Amino acid sequence: MLWHQILLALGSFLTAVQCFQLNLTQFYEMPQLYDLDDYDRCMQEFDQETSTYCFVRAEVQPNETVVAWQAIAEISRFDRHHFDHRQLYFGLCLRECEASLAQLDANELKALQAGLLTDNQKVNVYLDLFAMEADNRERHQRLTNICLNWRLQQRGYGLQAKSVVEYCDEAGKSVEDDAWNFTFYTIICALLILACLGSLVDLHLKYRRHDKMLKERDHYKTPPKSRAQQLLLTFSVARNWYRLNQEPSGKIGRELRFLDCFKFFAMFMVIFAHTNWVIYESAISNPQDPERLLHTAAGTLLVSGSLITVTFFVISGLLLTINWLAVVRSMQSKSKEVWSFGQYFLLFVKFNVFRYIRLTVPYAFVLLVSGVYFDNAGGPLWRHIYEREQLSCRRNWWVNLLYINNFVHTDERCLLQGWYLAADTHSFVLSLVVLMLGHRFAQWSKHLYSGVLAVFMILPAVITYVADYYPIFIPSPQTQKDSFIGDRQFTEFYTSSHMNFGAYFCGVLAALVYDELSSRQYKLRELRSFQIFWFSLIPA
């Protein structure tokens, strides 16, 4: 009961603590981050004419004498908490623009032109991806710039903005299937056909069996007889269902079941975080709310939960090492000789190739899906968010398949979350080398392991200090809105392999300790000091 009350008190304390008060009078002096005309109306109202809707990126130009600029400068200064309010998104229906500018004369129009936005690196990444829009960009630049500056003036902000068209949509255009799309459809069809065929063959085999001793489902658990059968039955739905639901077997399987719990919670948080990211990328009509979030303790804890991925690294390291130890044991039971370099090398290649195949087949399929063009579901930001991903995937899929996407082409990321797989792959290779060295030079292994751990514990600290990173990664609202493009902290600090290897190696060491303990039948839980240590983990 007491615990309960303390927790409740802590919870309400964390949500109530808010040191910073956003001055909303000042907040509403700034132009809105998003000014989007009605997309559907623009595209559908007049069928006969071709209507055009342009998505325009604008950057407010400084003017110290204007109140709105003072507010922008003051609020955007806190860039870890707040959006950069200089960056505005406009969705302009060109027909409405023309209508609104009709009564202005040439001089007035000239005064409204603030120029082309060229020196914004993040915007330029988008312009480069949407290179096929170069014509539209040139054709509509003048009109859109005048139009949005007219709006800023009409609303009394007294500011001007440079701008550039990201893309324009024309009414009546639909997506044309290309080679990439057809590849996707072909593979989907092939998979469906194979799944049907495999399932039917499996069903047929089941009825042919006539074995009274076997229960219904046992058929699906017995391995197929021939190679050809095995190949076909890989696609059998029922068989895969039972495989997925299989209970872990063996001593290791039972002992490692607790990992599922960690995996569940970590996975939940990861999905939550990435859903949140897409919300930040799209239009938010009340940006003050997400901005306030990071001024509260609870909000900060929630958003800086990026450390959750460390859990996965530890689990990966643990599983690799358990696997490695099992292989070593089975090989040593056959012969006691010292292994040659060739044997180590062969084993190294085998580990990596099998892992590569296991990961890459489903990964490649996800990459393929991510590049498929779909019809615009009906919104001005659809292409900004989805087509950016599709274009990046079409351009950079090979970077992902080589697992170097956490340091190559980091501004045009296909599957942003794929950085984890790259960092995991690098950690896997390095750990395997370390484990092999530890096995070959067994008398030095303790020195080696502690040396590696020490290096990769100290290295991130040194790099963080020298390169002046913030010690934890907090995805600020603007970072998320920019889709993590050009964010040093994310690319160099958070997703790079050498910063994460320490956590991975902790998993490796945990597995070595676990192996030692279980082979010696050591009863840790009877140790008083261990009990104290164990319960002290709960608050941590």
Ligand X SMILES: *[C@@H]1O[C@H](CO)[C@@H](O)[C@H](O)[C@H]1NC(C)=O
Q: What is the DSSP string of 108-124?
A: HHHHT---B----HHHH
| Nearest C-alpha neighbor of 456 from the set 395, 500, 423, 411 | 500
Q: Output DSSP code: residue 131.
A: G
Alpha carbons 398 and 409: distance in angstroms, whole number: 11
By three-state DSSP, how is residue 234 classified? coil
Alpha carbons 234 and 225: distance in angstroms, whole number: 13
Whichever of 20 and 470 has its CB closer to ligand X, that residue is: 20
Whichever of 68 and 284 has its CB closer to ligand X, that residue is: 68
Whichever of 136 and 145 has its CB closer to ligand X, that residue is: 145
Q: How far is the CB of 130 from ligand X (least distance, A)?
A: 30
Q: Which residues of 126-135 are buried (b: 16+ CB within 10 A; e: fewer)?
A: bbebbeebee
Q: How far is the CB of 109 from ligand X (least distance, A)?
A: 17
Whichever of 160 and 236 has its CB closer to ligand X, that residue is: 160
Q: How far is the CB of 472 from ligand X (least distance, A)?
A: 30
Whichever of 30 and 314 has its CB closer to ligand X, that residue is: 30
Whichever of 68 and 415 has its CB closer to ligand X, that residue is: 68
Q: Output DSSP code: residue 415.
A: S
Q: How many CB atoms lie under 10 A from the CB of residue 384?
A: 21
Whichever of 22 and 269 has its CB closer to ligand X, that residue is: 22
Q: How far is the CB of 68 from ligand X (least distance, A)?
A: 10
For residue 51 the two structure tokens come to: 């209507």
Total chain residues near ligand X (CB under 6 A) = 7
Contact 280, 479 (CB under 8 A): no
Q: How far is the CB of 111 from ligand X (least distance, A)?
A: 10
Residues 6-25 that bind ligand X (CB under 6 A): 23, 25
CA dihedral for 463, 469, 474, 477, sign (positive or negative): negative
Residues 23-42 that bind ligand X (CB under 6 A): 23, 25-26
Residues 60-79 that bind ligand X (CB under 6 A): 63, 65-66
Q: How far is the CB of 147 from ligand X (least distance, A)?
A: 19
Q: How far is the CB of 152 from ligand X (least distance, A)?
A: 11
Torsions phi, psi for 446 (to 5 deg): -65, -40
Alpha carbons 235 and 359: distance in angstroms, whole number: 18
Whichever of 11 and 158 has its CB closer to ligand X, that residue is: 158
Phi-psi region of 10 (alpha: psi -120 to 50; beta: other; left: phi over 0): alpha
Whichever of 292 and 394 has its CB closer to ligand X, that residue is: 292
- Pair type for strands 161-170 and 87-93: unpaired
Q: How far is the CB of 116 from ligand X (least distance, A)?
A: 17
Residues 107-166 that bind ligand X (CB under 6 A): 158
Phi-psi region of 156 (alpha: psi -120 to 50; beta: other; left: phi over 0): left
Q: How far is the CB of 112 from ligand X (least distance, A)?
A: 12
CA angle 507, 512, 514 (to 5 degrees): 90
Q: How far is the CB of 63 from ligand X (least distance, A)?
A: 4
Whichever of 26 and 352 has its CB closer to ligand X, that residue is: 26
For residue 272 the two structure tokens come to: 């939550």
Q: Which residues of 436-445 are buried (b: 16+ CB within 10 A; e: fewer)?
A: bbbbeeeeeb
Q: How far is the CB of 368 from ligand X (least distance, A)?
A: 50
Give every CB contact of residue 238 below 8 A, 6+ residues apart in sequence: 199, 202, 203, 220
Whichever of 66 and 194 has its CB closer to ligand X, that residue is: 66
**Can you give the binding site for ligand X, defined by CB under 6 A?**
23, 25-26, 63, 65-66, 158
